[in-house]
Amino acid sequence: MATALNGLRVLELGSGAAVGIAGMVLAENGAEVVKIESPQGDRDRGRPGFAVWHRGKKSAVLDLADAGDRDRFLELARVADGVIEAFRPTTAARLGVDFETLRKLNDQLVYAAITGFGETGPWRNLPGYEQIVAAKSGRMTTYDGVRPGPVFTPVPIASYGTGMLAAVGLMAGIWARPRLGLGQRVHTSLMHALSVYDMTSGHGNRTNMPPEPGKVYGIMRVPFMTAPTKDGRFIQMCSRQAHHYRRWLTELGLEGLLDDPDLANAPDLWPSEDRLAATIEAIRNGMEQRTAEEWVETFSAKDIGGDPFLAPQEFLDHPQCTENRRRQEVVDPEMGPTVQIGPLGVYSDTPSVVGPPAPRLGEHTNKVLSSWASTPLRTPTADRADRTGDLPLADATILDVGYFYACPFAATLLAEAGARIIKVEPPSGDPGRRNWTTDYVKSHVGKESIVLDLKTPEGLDILNRLVDKADVFLHNFRPGTPERLGIDADSVMARNPRLLYVYASCFGSQGPWAHKAGFHSSPNAIAGAGVVESGDQNPPRNRTYGDPTAALATAAAIMAGVLACRHTGRGQKLETTMLTATAYAVAEWGIQHSGPEAPVVDSGQYGFHAYQQLYETSDGWLVLDVHQDRERQALGMVLGVELPELPSSELAAQLAKVFSSDSAEAWESRLLAVGVPAVQADRGDFLHNMLNENHMRTCGVAVEAEQHGLGSYWRAGPTMQFSSASTPLTPALPLGWATTKILGELGFSDEKITRLHDAGVTKPIGHGLPN
Q: What's the pTM value of the predicted model, to 2 decimals?
A: 0.94
pLDDT for residue 206: 40
Distances (CA, A) of 274 to 215, 240, 258: 11, 20, 17
pLDDT for residue 208: 43
pLDDT for residue 211: 53
- pLDDT over 50 at 422, yes or no: yes
Nearest to 748 by CA among 430, 406, 458, 338: 458
User: Rounded mean pLDDT of 391-397?
Assistant: 96
pLDDT for residue 149: 92
Residue 358 backbone phi and psi in degrees, to 5 = -55, 135
pLDDT for residue 128: 94
Average pLDDT value for the chain: 90
Residue 321 backbone phi and psi in degrees, to 5 = -90, -50
The β-bridge relationship of strands 702-707 and 234-237 is: unpaired
In tens, the pLDDT along 192-211 reads 999 998 765 444 334 344 55
Rounded CA separation 177/395 (Å): 12
Enter the DSSP assignment of 344. Answer: S
Structural contact between residues 283 and 257, judged by C-beta atoms closer than 8 angstroms? no
pLDDT range class, residue 79, cuts 50, 70, 90:
very high
DSSP letters of 455-503?
Answer: TSHHHHHHHHHHHHT-SEEEE-PPTTHHHHHT-SHHHHHHH-TTPEEEE
Structural contact between residues 44 and 16, judged by C-beta atoms closer than 8 angstroms? yes
> Which amino acid type is present at position 367?
K
Beta-strand (E) ranges in 546-693? 572-577, 607-609, 612-616, 621-625, 678-680
The β-bridge relationship of strands 711-716 and 702-707 is: antiparallel
In tens, the pLDDT along 703-728 reads 888 877 777 888 889 999 999 999 98
pLDDT for residue 387: 53
Question: What is the CA 333 to chain-centroid distance, rounded?
Answer: 30
pLDDT for residue 49: 94
Asked if the peptide bond before residue 333 counts as cis, ω within 30 degrees of 0, the response is: no
Q: Counting runs of H as helices and runs of E as strands, what totals does the chain give?
A: 32, 27
Rounded CA separation 161/556 (Å): 10
